[in-house]
Amino acid sequence: MIELWAVGGYSEIGKNLTAIRYKDEVIIFDMGIDVSKLISYEGEAWKLNSRKLLNIGALPDDTQMRREWGGMVKAIICTHGHLDHIGAITKLANNYRNAPIIATPFTIEVIRNQEKDQKARLENKIIKLNPGSIFKINKDLTVEFVYATHSTLQTAMIALHTPEGVIMYTNDWKFDDNPTFGKKSDYATLKKLGKQGVLALISDSTRIDHYGRTFSESLVKEMLKDLLLNLKHEDKLIVLTTFASHCARIRNMVDIAKKMGRTPIIFGRSMRNYLDASTRAKLINFKDTEIASYKDEVSAAFERIEKVGRKKFILIMTGNQGEPDAMLSKMARNELDLRFQKGDVVVFCSETIPTPICEANRGNIEKQLRDKGVRLFLDVHVSGHASREDHRDLLKMVKPKHYIPSHGTLQKLASAVELAIEEGYKLGENAHLLQDGQRLKIS
Ligand SMILES: [Zn+2]
């Protein structure tokens, strides 16, 4: 029998943490943080201690699970480098210090950056596992990383091989058949696992209520080319903003800037963290691109932009959600030496995270920019999350005995269960609706 403890990410989007128990062995999947709870703390959020972070609902509440299962944890396995999957590692992993952290090389680099930034020290052993590879944890448990596409690099779907069958944990993925970097998701292995027998599939449901398919990142590349290579007022400053973790998209922005004859400069601490991780993991190399994150680097870059001419540069920066402490917001509030002028261009390569605070922040920054006469281009973006029909495809490929949607609000999880019912599953029998803190036994 396998027991699942839904610790976090089953009542909200963010703070993912699932524990799986086989006999007296426990595996933790993901250790994420709910970033939306940190926004009002701006740059100070990381200084909050674990208790405070738990109280404001940013950390998954693992207190009870730790009390009962903590001594049995054999590994912490992370799917990818987004903060809602790894952001709690520096706060919680030391509570399971005998358990190694297993993740792809890129994800490990991102975790290392977090550790450095927060002056934390992880005592856990670190194991780098490439997508497509297998690692034997002990005589009963083996982890397999199945390559998946998503909006950051080296994302893995986890197949945990147990004597009771395979437990699949696919938390954040999309099926991108034309990725702009890397390979497609590993359909052959997914089908092979489906044939072998998957006992349970625990899967991301953040975009389950979007009908149809999530389109390929190559569309964003084409949209950016179409927009930037045909701009009519090319003597103005151009600013692009997107998610710092989206290394492939940022590389495309850099390449298009060069094609336009402009010098790309990347701004922001989180941009540097993810892009350096990509370079260090020998994936997409950003050594040829200037990244300014420290105060003096930013000042020097701004000085050069004014001296050489604003039309010679493209600025890529953080702030796509209108976060008040991000570069773009500071620039929009005239807090930086470089200021917007009428006719400058800002392109948002993102969608707004649908929480009241994010929507309010985005509304504010858009208004500030419009008031300055900045030309806005919005929604140059495709999601990194699977849509409804992609989920149906995954279910048909993997054919799990049990289906457990995760990473969503109650409404999204219910919508995922509804999809499973359409595919012949029965609620409470083999399609399960769990909330944070609930447990489930399956066999
Ligand atoms: Zn993700």
Distance 24 CA to ligand 1 centre (A): 30
Give burial (CB, 10 Å; 0-12/13-18/19+) of 426. exposed
Cα(341) to centroid(ligand 1), Å: 35
Q: What pLDDT band is residue 211 in, cutting at 50, 70 and 90?
A: very high
**Cα 151 to middle of ligand 1, angstroms:** 7
Q: How far is the CA of 307 from the centre of ligand 1 (A)?
A: 39
Give the length of the chain: 443
Specify the pLDDT at position 355: 75
Q: Which residue has the tokens 């989920």?
A: 391
∠27-389-351 over CA atoms, to 5°? Answer: 80
Distance 80 CA to ligand 1 centre (A): 7
CA of 157 to the centre of ligand 1 (A): 12
Map 224-279 to HEC letters.
HHHHHCCCCCCCCCEEEECCCCCHHHHHHHHHHHHHCCCEEEEECHHHHHHHHHHH
Report the separation in Å between the CA atom of 204 and the middle of ligand 1, taken as the mean of its atom positions.
9
Cα 262 to ligand 1 centroid, rounded to whole Å: 31
Ramachandran assignment for 8, one of left (phi > 0), alpha (psi -120 to 50 degrees), beta (any other):
beta
Task: Tell me which of 303 and 233 has the higher pLDDT.
Answer: 303
Q: What's the CA gap between 36 and 306, in Å, rounded? A: 35
Q: What is the pTM of this model?
A: 0.96
Only one residue has tokens 């399609």, namely 431
Q: How far is the CA of 335 from the centre of ligand 1 (A)?
A: 31
Q: What is the tens place of the pLDDT at every residue in 74-123?
A: 999 999 999 999 999 999 999 999 999 999 999 999 999 999 999 999 99
User: What is the average pLDDT value for the chain, to the nearest integer?
Assistant: 96
Can you give the pLDDT at residue 234?
Answer: 76
What's the confidence (pLDDT) of residue 233?
A: 74
Please report, rounded to a whole number, the percentage of residues in the chain having pLDDT higher than 90. 93
Q: How far is the CA of 150 from the centre of ligand 1 (A)?
A: 7
Ligand 1 centroid vs 86 CA: distance in angstroms?
Answer: 10
Q: Which domains does the chain have, with CATH numbers?
A: 2-213+385-442 (3.60.15.10), 217-377 (3.40.50.10710)
Contact indicator for 80, 104 with CB cutoff of 8 Å: yes
Is the pLDDT at 44 greater than 80, yes or no? no
Cα of 352 vs centre of ligand 1, distance in Å, is 15
Q: What is the mean pLDDT of residues 47-62?
A: 93
| pLDDT tier for residue 45 given thresholds of 50, 70 and 90 | confident
Distance from the alpha carbon of residue 406 to the mean position of ligand 1, in angstroms: 13
pLDDT at 38 over 90: no
Residue 260 Cα, ligand 1 centroid: separation in angstroms? 31
Distance from the CA of 84 to the center of ligand 1, in angstroms? 7
Ligand 1 centroid–CA 423 distance in Å is: 26
Q: What is the 3-state secondary structure (H, E, C) of the chain?
A: CEEEEEEECCCECCCCEEEEEECCEEEEECCCCCHHHCHHHHHHHHHCCHHHHHHCCCCCCCHHHHHHHHHHEEEEECCCCCHHHHCCHHHHHHHHCCCCEEECHHHHHHHHHHHHHCCCCCCCCEEECCCCCEEECCCCCEEEEEEEECCCCCEEEEEEEECCEEEEEECCCECCCCCCCCCCCCHHHHHHHHHHCEEEEEEECCCCCCCCCCCCHHHHHHHHHHHHCCCCCCCCCEEEECCCCCHHHHHHHHHHHHHCCCEEEEECHHHHHHHHHHHHCCCCCCCCCEEECCHHHHHHHHHHHHHHCHHHEEEEECCCCCCCCCHHHHHHCCCCCCCCCCCCEEEECCCCCCCHHHHHHHHHHHHHHHHCCCEEECCCCCCCCCCHHHHHHHHHHHCCCEEEEECECHHHHHHHHHHHHHCCCCECCCECCCCCCCEEEEC
Tokens standing for residue 332: 């929009």
| Residue corresponding to tokens 């917007």 | 340
Would you say residue 358 has pLDDT above 90?
no
How far does the centroid of ligand 1 lie from the alpha carbon of residue 347, in Å?
22
Please answer whether residues 245 and 384 qualify as being in contact, where contact means their C-beta atoms are separated by less than 8 angstroms: no
Return the pLDDT at 246: 98
Ligand 1 geometric centre to CA of 416 (Å): 18
Asked whether residue 236 carries a pLDDT value surpassing 80, the answer given is: yes
CA 231 – ligand 1 centroid, Å? 32
Burial of 211 (0-12, 13-18, 19+ CB in 10 A): exposed
Q: Which structure tokens are listed for 320? A: 């796509």
323 Cα–ligand 1 center, Å: 19
Closest CA to 351 of 387, 384, 324, 314: 384
Tens digit of each residue's pLDDT (9 = 90 or more) over 21-33: 999 999 999 999 9
Cα(82) to ligand 1 centroid in Å equals: 5
232 has a pLDDT exceeding 90:
no
Distance 122 CA to ligand 1 centre (A): 22
Are 194 and 401 in contact by the 8 Å Cβ rule? The answer is: no
Tokens 């690692």 identify what position? 135
Q: Look at residue 388 in the predicted model and tell me its pLDDT.
A: 98
Other Cβ atoms within 10 Å of 96 Cβ, number: 24
Q: What is the pLDDT of residue 356?
A: 80
What's the CA-to-centroid distance between 309 and ligand 1, angstroms? Answer: 37
